Structure 1
Amino acid sequence: MKFGFDNNKYLTMQSEHIKERISQFGDKLYLEFGGKLFDDYHASRVLPGFEPDSKLRMLMQLSDQAEIVIAINAADIEKNKIRHDLGITYDVDVFRLIQSFTDKGLYVGSVVITQYSGQNSADLFKSKLEKMGIKVYRHYTIDGYPSNVSLIVSDEGYGRNDYIETTKPLVIITAPGPGSGKMATCLSQLYHENKRGIKAGYAKFETFPVWNIPLKHPVNLAYEAATADLNDVNMIDPFHLEAYGKTTVNYNRDVEIFPVLSAIFEGIYGECPYKSPTDMGVNMAGFCVVDDEACREASMQEIIRRYYQALSRLARDMGSKEEVYKIELLMKQAKITTEMRKVVNAASQLAEEKGSPAAALELDDGTIVTGKTTNLLGASAALLLNAVKVLGNIPHDIHLISPSAIEPIQKLKINYLGSKNPRLHTDEVLIALSACAAADPNAQVALEQLPKLKGREAHTSVLLSDVDVKVFKKLGVNLTCEPIYEEKKIYH
């Protein structure tokens, strides 16, 4: 993989810039953290060299000055909103985030439940947190938000919200996902701090869109593809252009809300400290791109992956045609076709030749490995075995798992566990491989190759089961699937 991003430079620049922003306001800075604070795999895919935990590592450099407040929308608790990348609800993710931050030595000060209007589920969630010794605050719905500025900036608006007690000069406001009320939490705190005579400021840390690269750069287009379901649109920041005569990139929601934010700042301070949405940001990622071509290529591949993911969600009745159409338009703008993803053609050709599902994976050196469906193995399971054989220089005709070892597993699946598919899934074949590794040196060598699959590209000619998808994800393989079920059924 070609590296296009200097991660060490980023860690240094970003932490220094945040320190500068803290000093700009004096007493305290409320920093809204957009996107994922750790496990930011989108950024690592489109900016090769960016480590998924870079933002977390940067924060750890500021750990003595920082505390974290996690925001969650009461409506998301009520409807059990799910993080699709993790398959867990937002309220469960709050516990995960608290544990993850604490394990890294970062201080989580409290949780704030936003847009609270008496939801019973939110009350139960609050009680559960408090029993664990975690402080919980409530912020209420405000009529006419965000346009009714006179009400918002009053004792009946922000003033009605609980004041979140904080002790550090840098307060990170993060959340399980979008729409959690991070910005409103920051602004509410500014109102309360100002009434207490504390000079506090607000800034926003969001990696994408990258404000100082072109609007139609593939890195920024990949962000639009990633948020196609939210209908986010990148655009030139008109306020920044008017104020400074410089072209910068922001996205529609920040641009649309800026006049309201400016009015709220004026209501709190008497003046707005920022002239544009871009001014509010502290993101230094654009200054750390060291190979633009590598980032362009990586981002174009990400857009194709997002396209297949949108098609797969639509096939599973979990997405929308509008999401697919938007990504198709982005592909046309960037002059991208699915043929640029080599594993797509390889999997499709093999499936057509064999008349059954097939899979393909591209190794680091460009070698394409394929897997076909057999009586013993599904295509994705066969693909993994073939890939580790190539990586371990093991002859193709050697059985890493003997057919006699697979047959008892099939008997268990069919006769005792009620499965209708006798073929081994990827998780089952990896367990069988690990069992064989105890006595077979070739199987042991093959098992040791699994970490080398991280970051590799794979494609299957049919939709995979959730089990197989999760295994590829855990291995770090960038998987896409044709939006076709292996069998035509009413229920899958």
Structure 2
Amino acid sequence: MKKLGFDPQKYIEEQTKYILERVNNYDKLYLEFGGKLIGDKHAKRVLPGFDEDAKIKLLQKLKDKSEIIICVYAGDIERNKIRGDYGITYDMDVFRLIDELREYELEVNSVVITRYHGQPSTKLFINKLEKRDIKVYTHGSIEGYPSNLDVIVSEDGFGKNEFIPTTKPIVVVTAPGPGSGKLATSLNQLYHERRHGKVAGYSKFETFPVWNVPIKHPLNIAYEAATVDLKDVNMIDNFHYEKYNEIAVNYNRDIETFPVIKRIIEKITGKESVFQSPTDMGVNRVGFGITDDEVVQEASKQEIIRRSFAIETDFKKGLVDEEVLNRMKLIMEEVELSQVDRVPVQPARDYAEKVKNLSETKDIQAVIAFELGNDQIITGRTTPLMDSCSAGVLNSIKALANISDEIHLLSPMVLETIQNMKKNDLHSKLPALNVNEILIALAISAVTNPTAQLAYNKLSELNGVQAHSTVMLNRDDEQVLRKLGIDVTCDPIYPSENLYYL
């Protein structure tokens, strides 16, 4: 059984209590939510036992007191920015987020388009939202933000942006990703609330870095690895130490901007801010949920290795520059980690080398290795019939179900018929069956084949399995593995010389 290092129930109770204490100081609290509101898989990986939907469940407990504003930066819509974990653009992620919030019976007040100046794709997005009866507000850029206080806190700054009417004491401000304008939107609301005679406050709910965990703890270094492309760096909150003689960890952007934000809040409210440090602004209590530090440290180290593979593949694809790659290498050296410290890496590479030596062509060999429980490693490789992910998943669920390797879960004739349709009727350039196609075939076979049903029932046990591929996976396979809960990494090697058909 996987070792746990975090108590999710204790965390939710502590977090709920702390937020309500903060709310009691104001007529209304604008709570900026950083990170992922739903499906926080980073937190789940580095804090074994963490509920990836803990934040949304916390809000569900507060649903009678809260409503949600979703911010999205117009520029991210214009350039079709992709959310990596879902493989969808930010505008589509807004739709997804609204649907999921509604499932939890949480009220979505509106969507705010930030730094909007009539961009064409954003206009279309606004039209789509309004056609579905979703309120949309637009905020333009403010000259000199965030340093020119006289302009920002005036009719020419926040004053020219729309006020968003709200009715609940807690207003959660969230977004698909960083740089979406959550802080500016919150401060904009504080400005207008003040003009309406309301006492409104601001707080930040950012899970990482964990303020009451040492700065060089692997948990906090894993956060640096996760945001290495943003150039985030963990730092000691010097404001907090000077005021309270207490060491707290924050990150560079929050520490650098704190004096400005503090002055903006003071100029809006007309009195001294209650915040003496960026840590004061936060309401995060995740550090109090840790129950086994050793387990958390090891999980965090594994996350750092996963992030190093992700950066190497992004660099190969031209998505990040060499500076980011080198920064990631320094992080690995700082924690004294090697990529082969990830268990499935070496078995995948060894099997690929073995297959290559037996091959006449000596081409690149696509192999994937799955680390199941009890130190069991299962591999799969690409063949003319199916790709490595398909083979790896089938082999893994057979192993979990104790089905002999010689037994076919799927009839070769059926698979060949599917492949012929894919190649001849659908004119696919990639005839090998991918994992999505194999899983559909398995689901159909399970209806009449008891052995296939036995293996099919083991799919849920792949959740949390670690995997490594010797080549970069195509997006379809990668997304299916993630939906199964498999944490997969890849060597930065393209599976073929093709530019489009990978």
TM range (shorter): over 0.9
Q: Structure 2 CA distance, aligned partners of 1:130 and 1:402?
A: 50
Q: Structure 2 CA distance, aligned partners of 1:340 and 1:181?
A: 38
1:285 maps onto 2:290 in alignment: no
Alignment map for 1:226-237 (pairs within 5 Å): 226-237=226-237
Alignment map for 1:293-312 (pairs within 5 Å): 293-312=294-313
SS in 1 for 2:24: helix
**With structure 2 as the length reference, what TM-score do the two structures score?**
0.95
* Partner residue of 2:445 out of 412, 428, 436: 436
Contact 2:446–2:452 at 8 Å: present in 1 too?
yes
Residue matched to 2:224: 224
Shift of 1:127: 3.5
Residue matched to 2:85: 85
Shift of 1:490: 4.4
Show structure 1 runs of 5+ residues with no match.
Answer: none
Shift of 1:118: 3.2
Is the alpha carbon distance of 1:441 and 1:231 closer, same or farther for their aligned partners in structure 2, counting shifts above 3 Å?
same
Residue matched to 1:55: 55
Q: Structure 1 CA distance, aligned partners of 2:133 and 2:212?
A: 43
What per-residue deviation string (whole Å, max 9, x for no partner) do you get for residues 191-211 of structure 1? 111122211100000100111
Residue matched to 1:191: 191
What per-residue deviation string (whole Å, max 9, x for no partner) do you get for residues 36-88 of structure 1? 10111111011011111100000111001001011112222333322222222
Residue matched to 1:471: 480
Letter in 2 for 1:296: Q
What per-residue deviation string (whole Å, max 9, x for no partner) do you get for residues 322-349 of structure 1? 2222121111111111121110000000
SS in 1 for 2:262: helix
Residue matched to 2:362: none
Shift of 1:434: 2.1
Aligned length: 491
What per-residue deviation string (whole Å, max 9, x for no partner) do you get for residues 229-274 of structure 1? 1111111111111111111110111011001011112211221210
Identity over aligned pairs, percent: 52
Residue matched to 1:40: 40
Q: Structure 2 CA distance, aligned partners of 1:398 and 1:366?
A: 23
Q: Structure 2 CA distance, aligned partners of 1:372 and 1:86?
A: 25
Q: Structure 2 CA distance, aligned partners of 1:163 and 1:421?
A: 52
Q: Structure 2 CA distance, aligned partners of 1:87 and 1:377?
A: 23
The 10-residue stretch of structure 1 (128-137 or 2-11) with the greater mean CA deviation from structure 2? 128-137
Is the alpha carbon distance of 1:190 and 1:309 closer, same or farther for their aligned partners in structure 2, counting shifts above 3 Å?
same
Shift of 1:420: 4.0
Q: Structure 2 CA distance, aligned partners of 1:274 and 1:336?
A: 38
Q: Structure 1 CA distance, aligned partners of 2:387 and 2:126?
A: 45
1:360 maps onto 2:369 in alignment: yes
Letter in 1 for 2:438: V
Q: Structure 1 CA distance, aligned partners of 2:387 and 2:107?
A: 46
1:415 maps onto 2:424 in alignment: yes
Residue matched to 1:126: 126
What per-residue deviation string (whole Å, max 9, x for no partner) do you get for residues 152-182 of structure 1? 1112111111111000000000111111110
Contact 2:87–2:479 at 8 Å: present in 1 too?
no
1:179 maps onto 2:188 in alignment: no
Residue matched to 2:396: 387
Query: Aligned-pair RMSD on alpha carbons?
Result: 1.5
Letter in 1 for 2:452: A
Residue matched to 2:455: 446
What per-residue deviation string (whole Å, max 9, x for no partner) do you get for residues 106-139 of structure 1? 1111222211223344344333323332222222
Q: Structure 1 CA distance, aligned partners of 2:78 and 2:418?
A: 42
Shift of 1:404: 2.2
Alignment map for 1:241-252 (pairs within 5 Å): 241-252=241-252
Is the alpha carbon distance of 1:72 and 1:342 closer, same or farther for their aligned partners in structure 2, counting shifts above 3 Å?
same
Show structure 2 runs of 5+ residues with no match.
Answer: 357-364
Residue matched to 2:338: 337
What per-residue deviation string (whole Å, max 9, x for no partner) do you get for residues 313-370 of structure 1? 2222223222222121111111111121110000000000111322110113221111
What per-residue deviation string (whole Å, max 9, x for no partner) do you get for residues 427-480 of structure 1? 222222222222221111011100000010001111122221111111110001
Q: Structure 2 CA distance, aligned partners of 1:420 and 1:241?
A: 61
Is the alpha carbon distance of 1:87 and 1:422 closer, same or farther for their aligned partners in structure 2, counting shifts above 3 Å?
closer
Letter in 1 for 2:314: R
1:161 maps onto 2:140 in alignment: no
Q: Structure 2 CA distance, aligned partners of 1:134 and 1:459?
A: 42
Alignment map for 1:92-107 (pairs within 5 Å): 92-107=92-107
Is the alpha carbon distance of 1:353 and 1:85 closer, same or farther for their aligned partners in structure 2, counting shifts above 3 Å?
same
Letter in 1 for 2:110: S
